Amino acid sequence: MAVDSTDDLEAVLGYETIAVVGCSSTPGKAAHNVPKYMLEHGYDIIPVNPFADEIFGREAADTLADVAETIDVVCVFRPSEEVSDIVDAALERDDVDAIWMQSGIRDDDAAARAEADGRTVVQDRCLKVEHRRLVA
């Protein structure tokens, strides 16, 4: 389902484990600061970045397929043109309930595929902004 309502956003923010594709080890970048904020607010953050060994003291997975833990939400910090492949990787997993594309990131075709597979999809919204607005 596509998420537009406050209730739907709050439901996604109720999940605990977030795999962050494109998570950055560089402080100051949104792809670092947003997951760090979520970690500081009690979320289990799994960094996914093939160019980093570890982020936030956790081993970084190269791909979603390499994540051994259960994932509730896949948060995407990659360009829109990479979303389709990331969504396909998320759909290969039975544990992913939601896919969240950060501000400025969207792929309507990939979102439709995910929604057709029963996953919740948020596009073009900042996880940190919505958490601050609705939960914090």
The CATH number of residue 112's host domain is 3.40.50.720
Question: What pLDDT is recorded for position 5?
Answer: 86
| H/E stretch holding 136 | none
Residue 115 in any domain: the answer is yes
Question: What pLDDT is recorded for position 4?
Answer: 73
Residue 83 in any domain: the answer is yes
Residue 18 in any domain: the answer is yes
Say how many C-beta atoms besides its own lie within 10 A of residue 2's C-beta. Answer: 14
For residue 54, the enclosing domain spans 6-134
Task: State yes or no: pLDDT of 1 exceeds 70.
Answer: no
Q: What is the mean pLDDT of residues 89-103?
A: 97
Residue 26 in any domain: the answer is yes
Residue 1 in any domain: the answer is no
User: What is the number of structural domains in the chain?
Assistant: 1
Joined tokens for residue 45: 């953050």
Task: State yes or no: pLDDT of 2 exceeds 90.
Answer: no
Residue 42 in any domain: the answer is yes
pLDDT tens for residues 3-19?
778 999 999 999 999 99
Residue 111 in any domain: the answer is yes
Bridge pairing between strands 98-101 and 120-122: parallel
Question: What pLDDT is recorded for position 63?
Answer: 98
pLDDT tens for residues 22-74?
999 999 999 999 999 999 999 999 999 999 999 999 999 999 999 999 999 99
Question: What pLDDT is recorded for position 117?
Answer: 97
The percent of the chain in helix, strand and coil, each rounded to the nearest 5, is: 40, 20, 45
